[in-house]
Chain A
Amino acid sequence: MTTLVPTTAQRPHPNSFVRDVATITGRNLRRLARVPTLLAFATVQPVMLVILFNYAFGGAIHPPGVARYIDFLLPGLFVVTIGFGSSQTGVAMADDLVNGMIDRFRSLPTTSSAVVVGRMAADAVRNLFVILLMIGVAAAIGFRFHAGTAPAIAAVILAVGTGLAFSALDSWLGLVVAEPEAAGLAGLFPFILLMFTSSILVPISTMPGWLQAFAKVNPVTVFADALRALCLGGPTGVPVFQACAWILALVLLGVAGTALRFRHVGER
């Protein structure tokens, strides 16, 4: 008969943060490949967005200094798909909460920030895949990098970094909202607002003055402009620095908020 009481050989070792993160990341990646909605958000949606936005708006919008709308559009669409996709992170967190998985994690001697960091790491893998997929589809309909290979690689890295900020914030939101459907909407609405008041779809110069003022400080504009500079050419130093500063600040905020909330789940 097998024994259920502890023996020295089975006595657990102290937990390592890296291993905890790796375990949670592995779990989330498995879910990503198996949960149909998550798979759709990572495959069908980005392809759809590239094609729809390009052919619906491409005829009407001619941003200055860009030969094809797709060249202007794609860097912005990186941010859109990442923003939309990250709403699923909030859903997943809320889902874990109501299904008792968060309790399961909290009752184990696991480091409390490993759950959110593992979430971000899995999202980063998803986002890398999504971005490469979008580049492939966009290239087929005319997109080209104009600034060379190194900036192109930097653009991919920056886009994934942007995703970290969204994941951290949406994780926090998911725990606070604590209801999967509501968490999805709570993640999407603010992002849709920020998306339309940013430089993602159209140049800011075409907006009314009061909206321009907001659009210029909108972090989504900062991300889109930095990505655009890396893809299309032009000065990259300031926009990329600004984008990195935003990412750092938002990641810290999101991770701290999630970890704090994680510790007080169930309290008023």
Chain B
Amino acid sequence: MDDQPAIWAEGLTKRFGHVRALDGVDLELATGRLLGLLGPNGAGKTTAVRILTTLLRPDAGHARVAGFDLRKERDLVRRHVGLSGQFAAVDSYLSGRENLVMVGRLTGMTRRAAHARADELLGRFGLGEVAGRQARTYSGGMRRRLDLAASVVGAPPVLFLDEPTTGLDPHGRLELWAQLEELTGQGTSVLLTTQYLEEADRLAHDIVVIDRGSVIAEGTPEQLKRQLGGDRLELRTTPGPQAQQLANVLASLGSGPPMLDAAAGRLVLPVSDDPSLLPRLVALMADAGLSVSDLSLRRLTLDDVFLALTGRPTTPDRSRDRGVQSDDFAVSPTTKGAR
């Protein structure tokens, strides 16, 4: 599989009842790289991961994972992938070591090899001191690390991580990022789903943005950011004509067209990194005699990506789709999420 991509998928389609969870998705992940699958709740990220790890069968489409055909060589695919789902799948009443030994045995290792591998990974993921404690006594971050360790017990060349940092505190997130970087540094190919642009930006070599089961953008993080403009200037003012006037006056500052929600008095302007930006902004507003109630300059978020790519924010869809779409529920576990 040296010349083959770690993941190659074409036209993946999956429906749940009337909902098209995936609607013809193409993906490619080159060996040794990390692909960030970015999208809001219900976009189809989890469905894609579950199909590519053989947990779900696609209605249409073809895929090869680690060089094996997803339909015809399911067992070989399983032997070469690791999965860490949205919720840490560890047995709470087993110790960290027992969990890893169990997975090793179920991967086909001898008892001795499974124990050796478990100890190696416990040390590697910073769980050596709590290895003998039942997992139910672990913190959220420790459970996550144990789950990640469990997914690499068989040293899979292709690793799938479904929103691995959900529920982690900032420290835990940084730690996990470092571990992922080490994994890819050692040649493991990783597909990671996330709702955070910052995470995809930091970790991914390539990003695919999906929405409602379809790919809406792809490229390297640099390409995407260039396409969408770097930072965002966000202003709030009185709803109505004044907001429109503000948009007209400030349009020249933007690196792209302003996005105005006149009814809410909210204006978002893509801007490039430029030290003269704020002085120019103040001058323009003073000249026109305009005022704002709130102003912020911030990094691009997933919401901005969606606004720029689809013309609509992620949030209203998120609440409407919940309970209908197949993916990414906030509280219910993966298996139920896929029903």
Binary flags per residue of A22-37, CB closer than 8 Å to B gives 1, else 0? 0110110011001100
Inter-subunit contact B186/A103 (CB<8 Å): no
Chain A residues lying within 8 Å of B54, measured Cβ to Cβ, are 106-107
Inter-subunit contact A23/B183 (CB<8 Å): no
Binary flags per residue of B182-199, CB closer than 8 Å to A gives 1, else 0? 110011100000000000
B9 interfacial contact with A, CB 8 Å: no
In angstroms, Cα B102 to Cα A107, docked, is 14
In angstroms, Cα B104 to Cα A19, docked, is 11
Inter-subunit contact B56/A266 (CB<8 Å): yes
Size of the A side of the interface (Cβ < 8 Å), in residues, is 41
Inter-subunit contact A97/B335 (CB<8 Å): yes
Which A-chain residue is minimally distant from B17 (CB atoms)? A268
Which B-chain residue is minimally distant from A106 (CB atoms)? B55
Chain B residues lying within 8 Å of A97, measured Cβ to Cβ, are 335
B150 interfacial contact with A, CB 8 Å: yes
Given the interface contacts A23-B106, A31-B93, A103-B335, does A4 sit within 8 Å of B55 by beta carbon?
no
Which A-chain residue is minimally distant from B81 (CB atoms)? A107
Chain B residues lying within 8 Å of A109, measured Cβ to Cβ, are 75, 78-79, 106-108
Binary flags per residue of A88-117, CB closer than 8 Å to B gives 1, else 0? 000000000111111111111110000000
Inter-subunit contact B188/A5 (CB<8 Å): yes
Most buried by A among B57, B105, B157: B105
Most buried by B among A5, A97, A103, A108: A108
Given the interface contacts A6-B155, A12-B107, A23-B102, does A268 sit within 8 Å of B335 by beta carbon?
no
A20 interfacial contact with B, CB 8 Å: yes
Closest CB of chain A to B103's CB: distance in Å? 7
Chain B residues lying within 8 Å of A3, measured Cβ to Cβ, are 186
Given the interface contacts A4-B186, A99-B333, A107-B81, does A27 sit within 8 Å of B91 by beta carbon?
yes
Inter-subunit contact B88/A100 (CB<8 Å): yes
| Chain B interface SS verdict (over half) | loop
Which A-chain residue is minimally distant from B120 (CB atoms)? A2
In angstroms, Cα B107 to Cα A104, docked, is 11
Chain A residues lying within 8 Å of B183, measured Cβ to Cβ, are 4
Which B-chain residue is minimally distant from A10 (CB atoms)? B155
Q: Which of B101-134 contact A (CB under 8 A)?
A: 102-103, 105-110, 113, 117, 120, 123-124, 134
Which B-chain residue is minimally distant from A98 (CB atoms)? B333
Q: Which of A4, A104, A107 contacts B124 (CB 8 A)?
A: A4
Q: Which of B137-180 contact A (CB under 8 A)?
A: 150, 152, 154-157
B339 interfacial contact with A, CB 8 Å: yes
Inter-subunit contact A12/B53 (CB<8 Å): no
Inter-subunit contact A266/B338 (CB<8 Å): yes
Q: Which of A1-51 contact B (CB under 8 A)?
A: 2-7, 9-10, 12-15, 19-20, 23-24, 26-27, 30-31, 34-35
Q: Which of B53, B92, B336 contacts A178 (CB 8 A)?
A: B336
Which A-chain residue is minimally distant from B337 (CB atoms)? A266
Inter-subunit contact B55/A266 (CB<8 Å): yes
- Would you give 27 A-B contacts (Cβ < 8 Å), ordered by A? A2-B124, A3-B186, A4-B124, A5-B188, A6-B157, A12-B107, A12-B109, A15-B108, A24-B106, A27-B94, A31-B94, A35-B93, A99-B87, A99-B92, A100-B85, A103-B85, A104-B85, A104-B103, A105-B106, A107-B82, A107-B83, A108-B107, A109-B75, A110-B106, A267-B57, A268-B17, A268-B339
Beyond A101-B89, A109-B108, 9 extra complex contacts between A and B, CB < 8 Å: A5-B157, A5-B188, A12-B109, A19-B105, A103-B55, A107-B54, A110-B106, A265-B55, A266-B50
| 9 residue pairs, one from A and one from B, having the closest CB atoms | A100-B89, A12-B108, A6-B155, A266-B338, A104-B89, A23-B105, A107-B83, A109-B78, A110-B106
